[in-house]
């Protein structure tokens, strides 16, 4: 990325995440925990900071308090460098009493931030994907191609085109058509089975973006994927950036090349966790050349009294006492008592798995005290009467479904990474999801 280019980033973190319910009952999707100590938003923020993009506005709306607290605790930039910041921006209603109506409207409502900073380039990125990306390489391609807007893309099977914004390109990677979640689309050049999907990450020349946002507002349009980008195809030079060409130093040979997951559903979220497990995972969370930063961890080390543990993560402050963990992922301060068995499970903060409990293919949200000898994941018909069960058979136990046995509510001794916020009145805005 040329050193003389001034880049401002907007991260779209306002989506409701209804398909991740009940994990999003009391938090927005970017704030949903991931792996042992991260949250989903940490991936995009780490990618931007590692790419030396330090001017970042995080646009929030739906049930945002836990996300705001996470950013405050985990993403404090140096105060003596004015243009190094990650700032959370809720709807300010500067242009009328309306919440963000879509991704483009969210940026338009904060157009003064662009005008006051006067960047050369504006990056608009989503907040709910699991991946590593050097954004500088995308910006370099944007500048080399003399583009006015560039869309990060990757191949997806034709049968999945109705889940993404789909682009068609010519031989020079110029976008000749952009359609949001079409029923069908022509294959990409050189393939009969795949087409190019938008990753929801965009690079704009700042002057072009400002004009498009003002035009959009006058015409009543609200979204990048549905309105702005399709309308720019014929009047501007739009390029498709091939994510598969993005190179991250330190990526191991056994990792999946160009790993990227949209974790917008319970099934996708669940599977992405297990892509990170093992000695040779599809996506390795640890990379010293490109770290994914997490919230500060002041908890004591995990304690393993005894038991059998196979391909699992045990978070700090957790205790495993004579239990069996098989493909289990424990976040902070989780206790698994003697004789309990967890198979392909995700267990979140401050939860306890009681003596002899048998749990499989389950996500247990925070602050749950699973009683002794309970069986979850074995009789899905019975489980569905109490919990959310996906069509593939993953059981989701909501936060606090099983209150603590010894106190009215579980607490976090260390005061970190806590979701305490409850339902807010902002309307859902899945366009930002």
Amino acid 119: pLDDT = 97
Q: Which tokens belong to 261?
A: 């997951």
Is 365:22 a contact under the CB 8 Å cutoff? yes
Residue the block writes with tokens 């072009």: 208
CA 334-336-338 angle, 5° bins: 160
Asked if residue 393 belongs to a known ligand binding site, the reply is: no
- On whether the pTM is more than 0.75, the answer is yes
Asked if residue 250 belongs to a known ligand binding site, the reply is: no
Say whether 231 sits in a helix, a strand or coil. Answer: helix
State the Cα–Cα distance between residues 154 and 29, nearest whole angstrom: 22
Q: What is the DSSP letter of 148?
A: S
Q: Write down the number of H helices and E strands in the chain.
A: 9, 24
Sequence ranges of the chain with CATH classification 2.160.10.10:
303-397
Nearest to 182 by CA among 162, 202, 159, 196: 162
Q: Which residues touch 409 (CB under 8 Å, ≥6 apart)? A: 367, 400, 403
Nearest to 213 by CA among 139, 108, 314: 108
Sequence ranges of the chain with CATH classification 3.90.550.10:
7-153+198-245
> Taking the CB of residue 249, how many other CB atoms lie within 10 A of it?
9
3-state SS record for 370-396: ECCCCEECCCHHHHCCCCEECCCCCEE
Is 258:168 a contact under the CB 8 Å cutoff? no
Q: Which residues touch 299 (CB under 8 Å, ≥6 apart)? A: 315, 316, 317, 332, 333, 413, 414, 416
373-382 burial, b at 16+ Cβ within 10 Å, e below that, comes to eeebbeeeee
For residue 49, the number of C-alpha atoms closer than 13 Å in the C-beta half-sphere is 21
State the Cα–Cα distance between residues 340 and 355, nearest whole angstrom: 5
Nearest to 13 by CA among 123, 76, 89: 89
Q: Which tokens belong to 93?
A: 């209603």
Query: Residue 292: left if φ>0, alpha if ψ -120 to 50, beta else—which one?
Result: beta
Q: Which tokens belong to 203?
A: 């690079």
**CATH superfamily label, 303-397:** Hexapeptide repeat proteins (2.160.10.10)
Asked if residue 333 belongs to a known ligand binding site, the reply is: no
Is 381:365 a contact under the CB 8 Å cutoff? no
Length of the chain: 433
Is 159 buried (19+), middle (13-18) or exposed (0-12) by CB count in 10 A?
exposed
Which residues in the chain show pLDDT less than 70?
1-4, 77-80, 82, 92-99, 406-433
Stated as kind and residue range, the H or E segment containing 345 is strand 341-347
Measured on CA atoms in the order 124, 127, 129, 131, is the torsion positive or negative? positive
Q: What are phi and psi of 118, to 5 degrees?
A: 55, 55
Asked if residue 264 belongs to a known ligand binding site, the reply is: no
**CATH superfamily label, 7-153+198-245:** Spore Coat Polysaccharide Biosynthesis Protein SpsA; Chain A (3.90.550.10)
State the Cα–Cα distance between residues 26 and 134, nearest whole angstrom: 32
């Amino acid at each position: 990325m040329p050193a003389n280019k001034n880049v401002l980033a907007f991260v779209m973190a306002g989506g409701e995440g209804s398909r991740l319910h009940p994990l999003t009952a009391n938090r927005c999707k970017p704030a949903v925990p991931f792996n042992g100590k991260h949250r989903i938003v940490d991936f995009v923020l780490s990618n931007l900071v590692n790419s030396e993009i330090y001017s970042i506005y995080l646009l929030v709306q739906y049930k945002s308090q836990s996300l705001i607290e996470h950013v405050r605790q985990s993403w404090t930039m140096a105060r003596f460098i004015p243009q190094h910041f990650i700032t959370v921006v809720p709807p300010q209603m500067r242009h009328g009493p309306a919440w963000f109506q879509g991704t483009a409207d969210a940026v338009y409502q904060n157009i003064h931030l662009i005008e006051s900073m006067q960047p050369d380039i504006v990056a608009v990125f989503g907040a709910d994907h699991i991946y590593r990306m050097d954004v500088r390489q995308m910006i370099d391609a944007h500048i080399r191609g003399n583009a006015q807007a560039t869309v990060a893309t990757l191949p997806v099977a034709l049968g999945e085109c109705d889940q993404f914004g789909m682009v068609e390109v010519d031989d020079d990677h110029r976008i000749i058509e952009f359609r949001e979640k079409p029923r069908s689309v022509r294959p990409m050049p050189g393939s009969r089975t795949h087409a190019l999907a938008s990753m929801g990450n965009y690079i704009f020349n700042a002057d072009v973006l400002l004009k498009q946002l003002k035009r959009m507002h006058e015409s009543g349009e609200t979204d990048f994927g549905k309105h702005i980008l399709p309308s720019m195809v014929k009047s501007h030079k739009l390029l498709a950036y091939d994510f598969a060409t993005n190179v991250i130093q330190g990526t191991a040979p056994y990792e999946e090349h160009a790993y990227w997951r949209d974790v917008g559903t319970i099934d996708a979220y669940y599977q992405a966790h297990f892509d990170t497990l093992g000695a040779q995972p599809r996506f390795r969370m640890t990379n010293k050349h490109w770290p994914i930063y997490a919230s500060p961890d002041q908890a004591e080390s995990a304690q393993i009294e005894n038991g059998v543990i196979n391909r699992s993560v045990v978070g700090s402050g957790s205790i495993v006492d004579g239990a069996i963990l098989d493909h289990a992922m424990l976040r902070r301060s989780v206790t698994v008592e003697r004789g309990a068995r967890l198979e392909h499970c995700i267990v979140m903060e401050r939860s306890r798995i009681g003596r002899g409990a048998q749990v499989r293919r389950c996500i247990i949200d925070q602050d749950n005290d699973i009683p002794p000898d309970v069986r979850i994941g074995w009789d899905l018909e019975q489980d569905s009467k109490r919990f959310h069960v996906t069509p593939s058979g993953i059981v989701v136990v909501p936060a606090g479904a099983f209150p603590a046995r010894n106190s009215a509510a579980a607490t976090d001794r260390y005061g970190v990474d806590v979701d305490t916020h409850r339902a807010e009145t902002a309307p859902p805005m899945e366009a930002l999801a």
